[in-house]
Amino acid sequence: MDNIWNNIKNLLKEDMPAHIFKMWLEALRFVEYNNKNLTLSCTNSFTKKTVKQRFESLIIQTGAKIAGSPITLALKLIKPDDKNVKKKPLLNQKQLPDIYLRLYGGRPLRKNFTFDSFVVGNNNDFAYSAALSLASKENNSQNSLLLLSKTGMGKSHLSQAIGRHILTHFDDKKICYLTAEDFTNEMVTAIQNNCLDKFKDKYRKHCDVLLIEDIDFFGGKKRSQQELSLVLDSLFDSDKKIIFTSQYLPAEIPKLDDGLSSRLTCGIISNISQPDFKTRLKILKKKTEANHYDKIPQNVMTYLAGELTGNIRQLESGLLGVITKASLLGLNIDIPLAKSVIENLIGQQKIITLDYIKKEVCKHYGIHPEDIASKSRKQTIVRPRQMAMYLARKYTDQPLAAIGKNFNRYHATVLHSINAIEKGIRHDTSLRGQINYFRNKLASPSI
């Protein structure tokens, strides 16, 4: 009898702000209603605790009105695949809408990553125009686009917007959206299962639009580069559309084949830079409208746009933090509240420097600051040097060339060091512990 929960939700939705309902109650799932006992499930303990503290009595009161007699409420922590949760039947191929059938393998596209939801500013207007032109026209003189930016600037948004636009407006086109790591893993699996021809045919014969994210992952992976080059040659010859995203130009990616580098840069290349104040304010307004956050004062929006200068994800994180804290504590949304939320977001960006990072890394590993910038290739020096370069890239806005100069290295060496640490984090628990130590240290630096 899940109707009782649907009826309760409908009444609650009318009586509370939309963002609060969406944040805390919409995700609750009906488990059972037995002898006036209503059981709901949630997937994490924080949600369970919040719902119990803030909404339990309201749910019980509303349920009693609908049932005509008192009810009780039980909240359970249940994983999404728990057998007690009623599941919707899986869709088979015949039931799937055509737009999903034409997503040929790869990953699904995010519904909210569309051209309409993308905020255009001076930092991304050319990238937006190039992406929209590529998506809208069947016969472009340029069918390849490389979107460049640091993380959190919107290149994935534009890439997926291209795919969704084509799916919506061109009924006969098939899209394949994936990351460079997905491509590599798929190729390795195909080789292991002796079905490499099937892997090749997927992209050469059944893909009209190829979207590949994070091409910098291909650095040093010779077989992946070879297979991708062959795929690209076939797609180029057939005038298919190809979109890449990357944090770095192909020329900056270590151990990337010159032939593949040439193919990746044969079309339009567009950089997405950090948004200016005007664009940041537009992004915040767009976000509040999309999520019905209608009670945020203009002066708070202006304050957030002025302080959160890092990237779009930081903007969204700050906005959500302000809304969540106000909702949880029942506070008014004002400047003091906004300051208390974002001080951790902006504090580290204002005072962390390359020299500070080098000093802390040397102190932790017990080496001299001169050693870390020396030509030494001893492992006791190399690993701290790689760690310092990784942290410099993560916690400062310095470009690769500037970081390299600070360590007496080329930018390609910096990128190699970053990749080495990122790879090590996935397999080395000791290294993960060291990363966590530096994260905590840099979260509250004492300079």
Determine the Cα–Cα distance for residues 2 and 356; give it in Å rounded to an integer.
57
At 105, phi and psi to the nearest 5? Answer: 70, -170
Here the tokens at position 443 are 């979260």
Residue 330, beta-bridge partner list = none
At 247, phi and psi to the nearest 5? Answer: -85, -15
Would you say 367 and 380 are in contact if contact means Cβ atoms under 8 Å apart? yes
Residue 212, beta-bridge partner list = 178, 244
Of 423, 385, 419, 431, residue with least CA distance to 404: 385
Ordered structural domains, the chain, with CATH: 3-77 (3.30.300.180), 98-271 (3.40.50.300), 283-346 (1.10.8), 354-443 (1.10.1750.10)
Determine the Cα–Cα distance for residues 390 and 406; give it in Å rounded to an integer.
13
Residue 276's contacts (CB-CB under 8 Å, 6 or more residues apart) are 121, 122, 123
Q: List, in sequence order, the alpha helices (H) in 79-221.
A: 98-101, 125-136, 155-169, 180-192, 196-205
pLDDT at res. 96? 41
pLDDT at res. 421? 92
Determine the Cα–Cα distance for residues 273 and 265; give it in Å rounded to an integer.
19
Q: What predicted TM-score, i.e. pTM, was given to this entire model?
A: 0.59
Residue-wise burial string across 357-371, b where 16 or more C-beta atoms lie within 10 A, e elsewhere: bbebbbeebebeeee
3-class DSSP state of 8: helix
Residue in the block written with tokens 């300051």: 339
How many CA atoms lie less than 13 Å away from 442 in the CB half-sphere?
Answer: 30
Residue 421's contacts (CB-CB under 8 Å, 6 or more residues apart) are 386, 387, 389, 390, 431, 435
Residue 174's contacts (CB-CB under 8 Å, 6 or more residues apart) are 102, 103, 104, 206, 207, 208, 209
Determine the Cα–Cα distance for residues 191 and 72; give it in Å rounded to an integer.
57
How many CA atoms lie less than 13 Å away from 124 in the CB half-sphere?
Answer: 31
pLDDT at res. 19? 60
* Greatest Cα-to-Cα distance within the chain, rounded to the nearest angstrom: 80
Task: Going residue by residue through the chain, which has 447 residues, state the pLDDT in tens, using 9 for 90 and above.
Answer: 557 888 888 888 877 766 677 777 887 899 998 888 999 998 777 678 778 887 898 899 888 888 888 999 999 987 554 444 444 343 344 444 445 455 666 788 888 899 989 999 989 999 999 999 899 877 667 899 999 998 889 999 999 999 999 988 888 889 999 999 999 999 999 999 999 999 999 898 889 999 999 999 998 899 999 999 999 999 999 999 999 999 889 988 888 999 999 999 999 999 999 888 889 999 999 888 877 777 789 999 988 888 887 788 888 888 988 988 888 888 889 999 999 888 767 654 555 778 889 999 999 999 988 889 898 889 899 999 999 999 988 887 677 888 888 899 988 889 999 999 988 888 888 888 888 888 877 765 554
Determine the Cα–Cα distance for residues 72 and 34; give it in Å rounded to an integer.
10
- The dihedral over CA atoms of 176, 177, 178, 179, expressed in degrees to the nearest 10, equals 130
Would you say 395 and 357 are in contact if contact means Cβ atoms under 8 Å apart? yes
At 289, phi and psi to the nearest 5? Answer: -65, -45
Determine the Cα–Cα distance for residues 381 and 301; give it in Å rounded to an integer.
46
Determine the Cα–Cα distance for residues 65 and 83; give it in Å rounded to an integer.
30
3-class DSSP state of 172: coil
Here the tokens at position 281 are 């304010």
pLDDT at res. 353? 77
Tally of CB atoms within 10 A around 317 = 17
